[in-house]
Amino acid sequence: MPWKSDQLQGLFRQRGVCKAQLTKMKSFIDSCDSKTQIYDIRVRFQALTDLLKKYDEIQNQIEIQDDTEKEIDDRLEFEDKYFSIKAKMDEYLSSRDNSEEILSERSVRSGTSNKPLLKLPAIKLPTFDGKYENWLSFSDTFKQINGGSMLRVVTSVVE
């Protein structure tokens, strides 16, 4: 019988490690904000699934040896916490995916990209002073700016 008792104690310790990892996952997801990288959440989401499998294997071995109400309650408590964390992660991932999808869709529809906007310096528009000899210079400058050739150059440099 001591062998079973030692084995059971080892399983209790392994289960305790799983519970501690689940608590760390809960702390992580509770502290998430908009700055949290979505990749970090996805990796932990997969690790959470693996954690349930590991816990389930350990708990099954414990319940085979000690099938008491306390062990069944322990499983229910773990699973409740697990599904609560998983739901929060899933909700967070869905909302982040949807917001990125909406931004991407808007940029495609508007023909823009998610690049930061660049503020161009103000263009000083030429003024015509009314003198006949200055007309060609004014007209050429005005056509360059208004005709778009200067704007096309600036736009191509920005992109």
Res 12: pLDDT: 93
Helix (H) or strand (E) holding 61: helix 38-65
Residue where a domain terminates, one of 70, 86, 110 = 110
Q: Nearest 10 degrees: CA dihedral of 143, 147, 148, 149? A: -60
Per residue in 37-89, pLDDT (tens digit) is 788 888 898 999 999 999 999 999 998 888 788 988 999 999 999 999 999 98
pLDDT tier, 153 (very low <50, low <70, confident <90, very high otherwise): low
Whether 84 and 137 share a structural domain: no
Whether 87 and 147 share a structural domain: no
Which of 120, 114, 88 is CA-nearest to residue 101?
Answer: 114
Structural domain span for residue 47: 2-110
Residue where a domain terminates, one of 73, 91, 110 = 110
Greater pLDDT, 147 or 73: 73
Whether 121 and 106 share a structural domain: no
Place of tokens 């069944």: 72
Greater pLDDT, 26 or 67: 26
The tally of domains found in the chain comes to 2
What is the b/e burial string over 137-158, where b = at least 16 CB atoms within 10 angstroms of the residue's CB? eeeeeeeeeeeeeeeeeeeeee
CB 62 within 8 A of CB 11: yes
Per residue in 108-144, pLDDT (tens digit) is 455 555 566 677 777 777 788 888 888 888 888 878 7
Greater pLDDT, 90 or 124: 90
Res 1: pLDDT: 45
- 8 contacts: CB under 8 Å, gap ≥ 6: 62, 65, 66
Whether 83 and 136 share a structural domain: no
Q: What is the pTM of this model?
A: 0.57
